[in-house]
Structure 1
Amino acid sequence: MNRAAKWAIGLGIAGGAALALAVRRDRPASEVETRRARSPSRFIDVDGLRTHYRDQGKGPLLVLLHGSNASLHTWEGWMDSLTREYRVITVDLPGQGLTGPDPKNRYTPLAEVSWLDAFVGALGLERFTLGGNSMGGGLAWRYTVVHPERVERLILVDAFGLRREEPIPFSLRLYETPVLSRVVRWTTPRFMVKRTVKSTYGDPRKVTPETVDLYVDVLLREGNREATRRRFAQKDSDPSLEERLSEIKVPTLILWGSRDEWILPKYARRFHARIPQSRLVMMEGLGHVPMEEDPHKTVAVVRDFLHQTEARVSAHPAAGLQSARQV
């Protein structure tokens, strides 16, 4: 055997060993739930999908949606402040968090709009303020376009959904590649998750080991990585919804991290230009998940927005009835 052949075999063995070391099995749902589904967590059946959510506080309604490969825990830094005046519902979206994979594999944007409508219907919610971060922000504005009768106000936090001029981040791009998506479905070591989470912060030093542990838990929850692979394989069934952004007539807060490298600040300005009743607040020094990175500063902006628009929302007859029922 010549030297080149030996080198090739050696590299192949080394590569195989490295891949084997990187493999992470799914974690049983019951194990992850024991750690993460603590009070006030609840579960409800939504169109055949056992859904994890939290319902906290009393007052006018807010529904908040997390981003890709995250969970409802992303909003916990806001809860102490918001629940003093508002009823806040957070939820793990299909294929993510403790909700886990949808047995019917409904992951296109319009399918998720339908699922969200089923979720709020299952809880008996009629009108509410809707907010979302990243992918959850994309779901929030699409839902508002399709169901304007339900949404009183809209909060977009570094929201996804506009046509991009740059590739999506590398860690997500892997899920778009047919072969690599099957590899990354199993090979997600903790250091890779840590690097990805740090890339979403304007100041990576703020990422704690506990935050990384949470992201690892919800990613490795059984079925979630396969659901992510399937979600990225499904295309937007109605990209024309973007052309209807100007139909959004409710007060809208666009909250963005100035150092967001996942969805650049220029997209915040595009949302602002296309949604008539919108206001843009750029959070200096923060990244893609500003509500995690600086919950106190970001929730103060949200509370100001809610207070300043309260009278306009309460003037709507249906909104007034809904608020009276929830207090």
Structure 2
Amino acid sequence: MPPDRMPQDWPYRDKTRRVASRPHDWSVVDIGKGPCLLMLHGAGGAGHSFRNLIPLLATHYRVIVPDLPGQGFTRSGARGRYGIDAMAEDVATLCKTMDIAVSAIIGHSAGAALALRLSPLLNPKGIVGINAALGAFDGAAGVMFPLLARVLAVTPFIPHVVAKLWGNPATVNKLLTATGSPLDAAGQAQYLTLVRDAAHVDGTLGMMAQWRLDDLMRQLPTIATPTLLIASSGDLAVPARISRDAAHQMSAASYVELADHGHLVHEEAPQAVADLILHFLAGLTPD
């Protein structure tokens, strides 16, 4: 049964179910048959961001798409577990609860960092990162915004204020355009639903406040899992060089850059992204 807060027209609502896996009450899309792909969205999004990619992969694989703790429609059971290490442990526990063996992990933005952190816990055959957020953001915003997020995350009433102030079509469209990915009306409406949800805003701010990548970045050269890093030349949120530089540090990583599209390339150009993913997965050791 999908979560009660989920709109009737939410993508893959009929394939979404609750999974109680400590410490969270997860919202998980489970669709398709075959080797299992775990798909992890970025901060501020939800599993819905893979809505256009899912049907292109579910014809070959069983696709598992959880909303991350506190975001989308997953109810958090521990606000102190939004950092990358704790979240990786909780996602691994979710997979154990669901009794699934993950063949590959696909992550977008911060979800790509989480996918790499999960490598030693789930031992996948491959990892795909889409516009992976693996470095510090440039400019003044990169200094001020994390600090602001930490303040907001420990002030209980602030998420409600943010949801009220930002939860309008013009602001959401501006936020999406700032990523280099102006979406269609349906995509914008789905993000508007999330921004208007104070619980989702609280989960997003909490994740941003607790997210630390120093250990993961030091470990990149030791990650031997075959990895494909896909970047977009038009990404205004995470520059393509972040993925390119990370690939150079990894012993088993390859890098592909798509022209023109922005940070949400998997929503803008799902077929191009799916083609790269399927080609990469086909080259992995069979299950």
Deviation, 1:172, is 5.8
Match of 1:250 among 225, 235, 257: 225
Cα distance change, pair 307–107 in 1 and its aligned pair in 2 (3 A): same
TM-score (norm 1): 0.77
Matching of residue 162 in structure 1 with residue 141 in structure 2: no
Deviation, 1:308, is 2.3
Cα distance in 2 between the residues matched to 1:100 and 1:172? 25
Cα distance in 2 between the residues matched to 1:35 and 1:128? 30
Counterpart position of 1:325: none
Cα distance change, pair 125–201 in 1 and its aligned pair in 2 (3 A): same
Counterpart position of 2:4: 30
Cα distance in 1 between the residues matched to 2:19 and 2:108? 23
Counterpart position of 1:188: 166
Cα distance change, pair 31–58 in 1 and its aligned pair in 2 (3 A): closer
Aligned-residue identity in percent: 22
Cα distance change, pair 279–193 in 1 and its aligned pair in 2 (3 A): same
Cα distance change, pair 117–187 in 1 and its aligned pair in 2 (3 A): same
Alignment of structure 1 residues 113-192 onto 2, 5 Å = 113-144=88-119, 146-147=120-121, 150-168=123-141, 175-176=148-149, 178=151, 182=158, 183-184=161-162, 186-190=164-168, 191-192=170-171
Whether the 8 Å contact between 1:272 and 1:278 is mirrored in structure 2 is yes
Cα distance in 2 between the residues matched to 1:167 and 1:112? 28
Match of 1:62 among 15, 33, 37: 37
Whether the 8 Å contact between 2:228 and 2:253 is mirrored in structure 1 is yes
Q: CA RMSD in A?
A: 2.5
Matching of residue 77 in structure 1 with residue 56 in structure 2: no
Counterpart position of 1:226: 202
Mark the runs of 5 or more structure 2 residues left unpaired by the alignment.
Answer: none
What's the secondary structure of 2:71's corresponding residue?
coil
Cα distance in 2 between the residues matched to 1:199 and 1:302? 26
Cα distance change, pair 119–301 in 1 and its aligned pair in 2 (3 A): same
Deviation, 1:220, is 2.5
Counterpart position of 1:44: 19
Instruction: Tell me the amino acid that sits aligned with residue 57 of structure 2.
Output: L
Cα distance change, pair 271–84 in 1 and its aligned pair in 2 (3 A): same
Cα distance in 1 between the residues matched to 2:148 and 2:108? 20
TM-score (norm 2): 0.87
Mark the runs of 5 or more structure 1 residues left unpaired by the alignment.
Answer: 1-28, 315-319, 321-327
Which 10-residue stretch deviates more, 107-116 or 227-236?
227-236
Q: Which has the larger radius of gyration?
A: 1
Match of 1:277 among 241, 252, 260: 252
Deviation, 1:161, is 2.8
What's the secondary structure of 1:159's corresponding residue?
coil
Counterpart position of 1:199: 178
Cα distance in 2 between the residues matched to 1:179 and 1:62? 34
Deviation, 1:219, is 2.7
Deviation, 1:167, is 4.8
1:50-88 Cα offsets, whole Å, 9 max, x none, are: 111111111111111011111111112122221111111
